[in-house]
Every structure is written in C-alpha cells, then in structure tokens.
Amino acid sequence: MLFVQNEWDPPPLAGQPMAITELLDEMALLALPAGSRVVTIDEARENLPRASKILIAMQSLQDLAHDLTEELEVLVEQLPPHDEHVVEVADQLGSLVKEWQFLGDALEDTGARVAGFDPGHLEWHGVVDGYLVLYSWSQGEDDIEWWHPLDTGINGRRPLVEA
C-alpha cells in the first residue's frame, strides 16, 4: 500500500535532536508551562543523574505523605483536632509538603519535570526536527533515548535518531 501524504500534513518527524535556535515555530514557546525551559539533549543527559535522584526522593516523600495522610484521617475521626498527636502528624505532613516543594524547585532547575511516579518518568522540553517536543526517560533506562510530541504521553514515545 502506498502512503500518500496530504499537502496540509506535516512530514513525519525523524527524531533528530536540535538546538533551540533550530526551532521552526517560536510561537510554540508561548505554550511552555511557567518555570519550564527548553534544553538540548546534551543538557538533559548531563542533568539526568541529579534529576533521577530527585525523582527517587520525591517518590519516597510521596509514599510517606500518603501514609501520614491516612494516619491523620484516622486520628481526626477519633481525637479532637487540637490533640497533641493530631497536631504532631499534621506538622509532619506540613514538613513533607515543604520538602516536596524544595525538591520540585531543584528538579525544575535541571530543566526536568515529573511525568509519572510509578514507574518514575521524567521529561525535558527540547527540539526535535525543528519542533518543540519532550525528551523522555523512565526509571530503568540508562540514557535519554526517547522523545514524544507535546500532545502525547509516554505511550507516544519515539526513538531519538542521532547522527
């Protein structure tokens, strides 16, 4: 079967990472979430070890916060709101939230964002074939070797093609 491309369909992307200076549509940058920045694949790879450690810490905090939230729900059903134990667990949960925010800021400094926790999945805004995309990495992978368009998730990942 012969594939016929319509003139209004963009050509399929090959997967070549590029610098931001090669972005074809600078207006795409307006869609970036606050605090996000565009990185090269080399920058993303350079920051991967730090970003993956931060992700592990966030996963641990998420588990602790879940446990403390469940404990707090049980306590408020059994004890008055100002009971010493209720206040102690609520303070612990508040401290976890502050630590989570600190880790989120540290992750943002790497250019990465969390795209999933189980399994851990990180993404960086980058440029592939002239288009704004997301570089994609999942726990268990040795390197950032995937990307996907902004409008797809991990299931839309495609391999990077590097010269």
In the chain, domain spans: 38-159
pLDDT per residue over 47-84, tens digit each?
999 999 999 999 999 999 998 888 888 888 888 878 88
pLDDT, one tens digit for every residue, the chain (163 residues): 455 555 555 555 688 899 999 998 889 899 888 889 999 999 999 999 999 999 999 999 999 999 888 888 888 888 887 888 888 888 998 999 999 999 999 999 999 999 999 899 999 999 999 999 999 999 999 999 999 999 998 899 999 998 6
CA atoms within a 13 Å half-sphere pointing along the CA-CB vector of 141: 16
SS3 18: strand
Residue 84: alpha-carbon gap to chain centroid: 37
Q: pTM score, two decimals? A: 0.82
